[in-house]
Structure 1
Amino acid sequence: MQDDVAFKHNESHWFMVLLFFTKFNNLSARRDSEFISSKVASNNRENQRLSHIADIFVNCTTVFDMRNGSRDFALNGIKEPLILVNPELVVTNIDTVQISLPRRKNILGNCYAFILTFPENDYNLRIGIESGGNFKENLIAHRSSVWYYIRQFYFPQYFVWVTKFRSEFQKAIQALGLGILRQYENGNLGDFGLVNFVLIDVLEDRGESGEEFTYNSDILLHCYNRYYSEETQNVLPPWTTISCRNGYYPSCFEDLIILTDKIADLNKYFWTLEAWLKMSNAGPYVDSEVVHFIKSKYLSENSESFDMREVVELTTFEEFVGFWIFQDVLFDSVNKTEPQEIKVLHLLPQIKELMYLTWYYHSVLPIERKSWSFLSCDGVGYHSNMWSPLVTPFQLVVWALVCINILVIVLFLRVPGSDINVKLLVVGILMENSILLNVDSKVKDLWWKHSFRLSSGFFTILFGTILTNYYKTSFTMEMIVPAEKFAMWRTLMDMKNFTFYIPYETVFTHGTIEGLEAENLLDKMFYPKLQLRLLTRGLCNAEEKLIPSLAGYCGMAELLTYSITHRPGSHTEYISPFFKPTRYRNFTQFVKELGTCDKVAYMDFSGNVESAIDHLNDNQNHKVYKKGADGFMSVMHGWESLPVQNNFVFKRLNVMISSGIFKYWDEWFKRVKPEKLFKHYANWKFPEFRHVILEQFNSKIFTAFYAYGICVGIVVITFMVEVVFRVLKLCYGFYSSALPRRCKSYVLHKLCTSDDPAN
């Protein structure tokens, strides 16, 4: 009985355990089912959310990073084209560097969007937000480790980060400050200067209270103002949120574009010019004394007006252009407190030779084309004889044609039975002499008479009147103009074994010269910089090779490039037998070296060479300098800078150039405040040694006298020959007629007086 009771008790115990286990399994299964359905619903929401993000950037070339857990997302709901990348895969046989460069067909609103989900899973970015103070270095490391990011030349660019740690990334990005924009310093975030950071939250399964998070199809774009600082905090906040409502995602992109333009327009507050700066111990980007004085006087809090006339008197042309561009910006309330303390983010270089380096520069604004020329006194002289003025009125080809025409006319004037008088007729007409020639009596054929008269008339009008008068006019003009010295060379290709003196100002800008002088590197950097410029011009394109002169200059530039060799231990470390540097202010030494006229020449921009000719030719030694042909080192000059979205400076410069304001002030400064050259440092204003080479002027007159004397001598000799010939002819006729009569009288006389009766 007791055993039965014990068995029933044990059976009841195991039944309760089995019942509890069954209920526990049912509860676990229900929880697993709820978890799985919740997970599936969450993934479905995320998949739908990802497709909505792609809808927003439908105008962009969109790159989607498949790493960091992104591969769990299904992409079947995305209808727009995407570029799927996975930087973790190593591909060596396919060029994938340019994979993100293709542009959509709709150019209007084109952009580049890089969608990265869960950036906190990236090693560099995770370390950056966890460490707090190293996000700058980690962000640079992240970009360098990913190959699909494009260069900074293409904008606008959007870095879209879909993250669970939005607030942490917002703090880390905002802590970077304006350093994310400074493009011209080493070890900076210059590659992010055109990047627009957009952060998007990832939906969580449950909220902080443990309750289920309600799904909202609206997407919030948290956009960063990369120009946010103390100076611009009243213009735009550091972060702006754009709400993209369900069903209006493409229109949300328009709001994003408007916000991006507003942010990019703030670049106008952070510019400076290279012409404004000077080298200082306080830093390389310190305003010069003149610029600081103008900013303090006219652009401070107490100034009431902006006197542009005084600015013109105090500044150079490029400094004045800067104040014309920024006069409204510098006087703005944003910068009114301490205008000289505004942070410099963008730098506009001085006007210089455009290098067109696609890997460095992007924004280019050409102004004018300049070329180099040269001058020298070597081989300059009177390379002509006394009789050259007689033939200079006509070129050699003209003289050859005249001789051929005269020969043809002589052949046409030949008539049957004619003698040397026909040739004398031709010469007489050319000498404008009146010659009588009776041809009618000698020519019986009527056709020959008309042909002779027509040919002689044509010859008289064309050669006896027109040609001779034109020759006399040209010869008279040649006599009036004094003889001029000229050089045996014309182009650079004719200058064999010459040494060219090139000013530093031709190779470097004034700001660069000041910086290199401060570091004592001016002489060492001259030859490498010159070699780079020669190497650039030595690379001819297909169009330049079709023109012989340009092709010759390209070949000469290439040859001169290899003349610059590295010489360790020398003062400049580089040396060239054909180039030597000089300075405009060292005009005394320069004139002394150039005055030797021994295979030396001065090379500079064509305008500067023309300006130096009058100064150098004004000397006591009667040395004459001649300028060579232009065209060497022909290249466009203008402004070039790193890319800046909505570039304020280039917009203002385009207005200044297209309206004619730039040309007006450029000509005004060249006329009133020209750039200092040799003659300005020598304080030369007008010629001091006025001399005329009279003996060379008289040489042409002597040529005319010689020609006149020779002609008179020929005429006198001809006259004497004719007189002698006439006298001999008369004597011959007289004796030939008188001799028979005398002989007859002599015979009769002998017969009459003969003593012989037989006779």
Structure 2
Amino acid sequence: MQNTYFLKPPDWIKISNKSESFQDFIAYTILSETLFNVTPPLKVYNKDVYQYFGLDRKQYYITSHQIILVGSKSYSFLSCYGIKKENSYQVFTDPFHTYVWLSIITIVLVFTLITTVPKHRSVDMDIVILTFSVLLEISLTERIKKGFPSKIIRHLFWVWIFSSIVLTSYYKDIFTTEVILPFKPSLTWDHIYDLFDQKGFQFYFPVPAHVETYFESYSNGTPFRSIYDLESYIDIKLAASYGGNLPRLLGYKRLAEALLASEGDLGMKRIWKGLHYKWPFDIYSNLSNCGRSVYLDERENIRDIIPFLNDNKDGTVFMSGADKDFLLEWNTIEIDPTPRGNFVLKRVKFLLTSGIYHWWEAWFAKTRPKKLFPYYANWTKPKLGALERLDFVSKFTTILRIWVICCGICGVVGIIEIGMNYCALCIMEKVLNIFGVMRNLVLEFI
């Protein structure tokens, strides 16, 4: 390694391409100056001053010289359960705020009271219809004089007509804009314990993909052996041992306890299953029915998996939770104590404070992404366009449905009115017949 890279200014891109992993590359980087100062025939002895243990999930020990925080890792989840679209009927009320609608109703009541209270008569429905018809752009000007004999009230009503023209134009502009926008899905849950508390959920975890025995057992249809073999087991155990009183962490504790309790011979039904990355379509087949099923993975993995799952022709929408500290763990670099100046400690601090460490971390994440479900499905980008996945039809369907309902109501009212007029004519005819019979009887008696 020294002869290849460190007898001359190193080509860091070439080193990164030949490194087995990001931590392997960082180890080269930290120890590079040490290797510059070593004569080729000599060995680099395993002294404490030159030890670098790499990034790991660590806890503080009293013997550690330095614990350098590098980052954190937490879990999130995805599901299509309980995802609903926004209320489509709100498109009719959203253009105006509540106080605007209340003001309109108040004005209608005021005009009605002005024409009824002074004369001590019952409510004139013609006035109510006339006041509302202005908002619907229905012209009934010939009824204004009849409905409002007073000139002052008529002038006020013309002010209302002008205001209604402005309100109607404003309403139509906003309504048209809202109708052409697609529906947005909304969540009925935020955190993983919101789903767990509803009972009956099945939780799916990723099977460690690098273990060959798990690959063979999964390919044979054998259920994943134990929760103790999951990569997140330690974090689940820590979550179950929480002793505080924060509601959010107590919610995580309930889920962790249930996961651990479903192991062994405790007589409880197992509430979790394993999914292997190399069978990418298993996750969609298990979750796409939008039943009580949830998939849990690292937050970064969930972010990369969701576009793959949402690229479907069924219109199924998957969304992730809002948890940022579920099964949270901190990643650190541990530097052991040395009797003299600690070379590794200085190099690690330099890489972190200068931004070099995180730059190369992002570079490795981009050039060597994790092999998740999309990788094994040969999925690189959405096959469906962004417009194809948007729902533009539902709002028009809602408008058509409301239009049909209004037509039905108008038809029923028309039938009732015709029936009432017909009944009135029938009653009048019967009354006249009765009077005619009585008249004939009187004439015969005379």
TM-score by length of 2: 0.68
1:657 partner letter: L
Superimposed CA distance per residue, residues 7-34 of structure 1 (whole angstroms, 9 cap, x where no aligned partner): xxxxxxxxxxxxxxxxxxxxxxxxxxxx
Q: Could you say if the C-alpha distance between residues 648 and 703 of structure 1 is closer, same or farther in structure 2, counting changes exceeding 3 Å?
A: same
2:302–2:320 Cα contact (<8 Å) kept = yes
Q: 1:560 aligns with which of 244, 252, 255?
A: 255
Residue 27 of structure 2: which of 322, 334, 348 is its match? 322
AA partner of residue 175 (structure 2): F
Gaps of 5+ in 2: 118-123, 216-224, 421-446
1:375 is aligned to 78
SS at match of 2:55: coil
Query: Is the counterpart of residue 479 in structure 1 residue 183 in structure 2?
Result: no
| Structure 1 gap segments, 5+ residues each | 1-293, 546-550, 726-759
Residue identity in the other structure for 1:613: I
Equivalent residue for 2:88?
A: 389
In structure 1, the residue matched to 2:426 is none
**What is the match of residue 298 of structure 1?**
5
Distance, in Å, in 2 between the alignment partners of 1:458 and 1:665 is: 68
Contact 1:531/1:561 (CA < 8 Å) preserved in 2?
Answer: yes
Q: Look up the equivalent residue of 1:429 and give its one-letter code.
A: V
Q: What is the count of residue pairs matched by the alignment?
A: 393
Residues of 2 paired with 1:720 and 1:610: CA distance?
58
Match of 1:492 in 2: 192
**Structure 2 counterpart of 1:412, from 110, 126, 135:** 110
- Look up the match of 1:628: 321
- The AA in structure 2 aligned to 1:492 is I
CA 1:394–1:351 in structure 2 vs 1: closer, same or farther (change >3 Å)?
farther
Aligned pairs for 1:333-352 within 5 A: 333=38, 336-338=40-42, 342-343=46-47, 346-352=51-57
- Among 600, 609, 631, the residue aligned to 2:302: 609
* TM-fit CA distance, 1:488: 4.6
Q: 1:516-565, CA deviations, whole angstroms, 9 ceiling, x for partnerless residues?
A: 99xxx9964537514334246x455xxxx7xxxxx443011221232214
Q: Which residue of 1 aligns with 2:135?
A: 430
Q: CA deviation at 1:684?
A: 1.6
- CA distance 1:361–1:694, change in 2 (3 Å): closer
* 8 Å CA contact 1:415, 1:443 repeated in 2: no
What does residue range 234-245 of structure 1 map to in structure 2 within 5 Å? none
| Alignment counterpart, residue 501 of structure 1, candidates 204, 210, 213 | 204
Indicate if the aligned counterparts of 1:524 and 1:574 stay in contact, CA closer than 8 A.
no
The TM-score with structure 1 as length reference comes to 0.43
State percent identity of aligned pairs: 24
Instruction: Show structure 1 runs of 4+ deviating over 6 A.
Output: 573-576, 689-696, 712-725
Judging changes above 3 Å, is the alpha-carbon distance between structure 1 residues 338 and 583 closer, same or farther for their aligned structure 2 residues?
A: farther
CA shift, 1:310, in A, is 0.5
Task: State how far apart, in whole Å, the 1-side matches of 2:27 and 2:171 are.
Answer: 60
- SS of residue paired to 2:78: strand
Aligned to 1:660: 355
Q: Which residue identity lines up with residue 404 of structure 1 in the other structure?
A: L
Q: Verify the 8 A CA contact 1:417 1:443 in the aligned structure 2.
A: no
How far did 1:593 drift? 4.2
Corresponding letter in the other structure for 1:389: S
The aligned residue for residue 465 of structure 1 is: 166
State the distance in 2 between where 1:471 and 1:533 align: 55
* Paired residue secondary structure (1:601): strand
Which structure has the greater CA radius of gyration? 1
- Equivalence map 1:687-726=2 (5 Å): 687-688=382-383, 697-708=392-403
Give the corresponding residue for 2:439. Answer: none
* Structure 2 counterpart of 1:685, one-letter code: T
Cα distance change, pair 581–704 in 1 and its aligned pair in 2 (3 A): closer
- Summarize the alignment of residues 71-150 of structure 1 with structure 2, pairs less than 5 Å apart: none
Shift of 1:374: 0.9
SS in 1 for 2:145: coil
